[in-house]
Amino acid sequence: MNKNKGFSLLEILVAFNIMAIALSVCLTIFSQGVNNAGVAENYTLATQLAESLLASTGIETALETGQRDGVVLDRFHWRVKIEEVFADNESSLLLYAVHVSVSWGDEGRQLLLTELKTRPRNNAL
């Protein structure tokens, strides 16, 4: 009895199809991972920018009611809005809400941080 040793054409085609499907799934997973890494990097940069703006408000810039905005790295648009929250005539402190928003990308992604800050009244000791 002489049996053929080897694979038939059908077996080779099935193996190639299985390999092609597995490779396409792997490439899809890899490309999504790269895309998610880019999104995470933008969120990290936006968070660092927003925290920096919050920290500098009241120290490098005056803690007064109003709004200012700008652009960083040609893609992050930021806005700082300061509102007086509570004013008690008997208190020596004024309370302000500082809202920082950073937006970027075509998808309209936005990050919003809010913090309460105090400052002494002008006539306080």
35 to each of 25, 28, 92, how far by Cα in Å?
15, 11, 51
Mean pLDDT of the chain: 89
> What is the H or E stretch that residue 87 is in?
strand 76-87
25 to each of 19, 21, 22, 29, 31, how far by Cα in Å?
10, 6, 5, 6, 10
Residues 119 and 95: their CA atoms lie apart, in Å, by 7
Residue-wise pLDDT for 56-107, tens only, equals: 998 998 899 999 999 999 999 999 999 998 767 777 888 999 999 999 988 8
Structure letter (DSSP) for residue 36:
H
